[in-house]
């Protein structure tokens, strides 16, 4: 699904299952030394996807460490993003000369818990979700909003080094184009970020790319 959402400079790799007892890549073992079995499999598979995607842009396999906010630390000339949820692991990478940033996210296509809505919406979001639901109640628009903002953050943070709260990006969804725009409500080097989404196989998958100025 990721490859459909992203332009040609981006290379993706996905997996829908984990390999039992797949070993951890050298240089990453300490990151999951105390993890439970399920978390370990999730980590190993997602990192494998990352290296498969890196190979697609000619980058050799390397350990992919995590930064202070758990962001993946890519080779110096690479931008990329990772995602995982039940039944899906994925990675997207590009050369930094081709794109300034990329963010991807996958979520189960299911309603968000009601208590979460208030924490992930910006001014205008709740009304927009109501409009979308009235037009097409088959889509869990609240989950799409959550996933889109996750993709926005994953593209934003490597570019700025700054936290971006859910309430600091107001989302507008274009169902006809399977697209969305996040208007940033903070001081930013760009006023908005744009992305695309797909819904299928029980998943909501979103992706954001940031072009060079």
Cβ contact 204:104 at 8 Å: no
Cβ contact 157:71 at 8 Å: yes
pLDDT at 93: 98
pLDDT at 114: 86
Determine phi and psi for 119, rounding to 5 degrees.
-85, -15
| 48-60 tens-digit pLDDT | 999 999 999 999 9
Distance CA 164, CA 208 (A): 15
Q: SS3 of 19, please?
A: coil
pLDDT at 25: 96
Distance CA 70, CA 64 (A): 11
pLDDT at 213: 83
Percent of the chain with pLDDT over 70: 100
Q: Which helix (H) or strand (E) holds 116?
A: helix 114-120
Listed in order, strand segments (DSSP E) in the chain are 11-15, 78-85, 88-95, 101-108, 169-174, 179-184, 192-200, 203-210
Report the chain's mean pLDDT, rounded to a whole number.
95
Mean pLDDT on 77-96: 97
Distance CA 155, CA 49 (A): 18
Cβ contact 75:59 at 8 Å: yes
Mean pLDDT on 29-41: 93
pLDDT at 1: 82
Mean pLDDT on 89-94: 98
pTM summary value: 0.95
Mean pLDDT on 174-192: 94
| 122-152 tens-digit pLDDT | 999 999 999 999 999 999 999 999 999 999 9
pLDDT at 47: 97
Cβ contact 7:208 at 8 Å: no
pLDDT tier at 37, thresholds 50, 70, 90? very high
Instruction: Report whether pLDDT(190) > 90.
Output: no
- Report CA Rg, the chain: 17
70: region left, alpha or beta (phi > 0 left; psi from -120 to 50 alpha): left
| 199-211 tens-digit pLDDT | 999 999 999 999 9
| 98-120 tens-digit pLDDT | 999 999 999 999 999 989 999 99
Instruction: Report whether pLDDT(77) > 90.
Output: yes
């Amino acid at each position: 699904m990721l490859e459909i959402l992203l332009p040609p400079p981006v290379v993706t790799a996905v997996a829908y299952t984990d390999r039992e007892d797949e070993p951890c890549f050298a240089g990453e073992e300490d990151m999951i030394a105390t993890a439970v079995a399920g978390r370990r499999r999730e980590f190993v598979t997602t990192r494998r996807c990352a290296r498969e995607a890196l190979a697609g842009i000619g980058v050799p396999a390397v350990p992919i460490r995590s930064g202070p906010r758990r962001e993946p630390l890519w080779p110096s000339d690479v931008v990329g993003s990772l995602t995982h949820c039940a039944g899906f692991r994925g990675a997207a990478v590009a050369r930094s000369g081709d794109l300034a940033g990329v963010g991807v996210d996958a979520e189960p296509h299911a309603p968000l818990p009601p208590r979460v809505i208030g924490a992930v919406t910006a001014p205008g979001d709740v009304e927009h979700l109501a409009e979308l639901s009235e037009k097409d109640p088959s889509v869990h628009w609240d989950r799409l909003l959550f996933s889109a903002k996750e993709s926005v953050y994953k593209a934003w943070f490597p570019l700025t080094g700054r936290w971006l709260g859910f309430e600091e990006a107001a989302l507008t969804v274009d169902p006809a184009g399977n697209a969305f725009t996040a208007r940033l409500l903070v001081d930013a080097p760009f006023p908005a970020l744009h992305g695309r989404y797909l819904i299928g196989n029980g998943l909501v998958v979103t992706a954001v790319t940031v072009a060079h100025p």
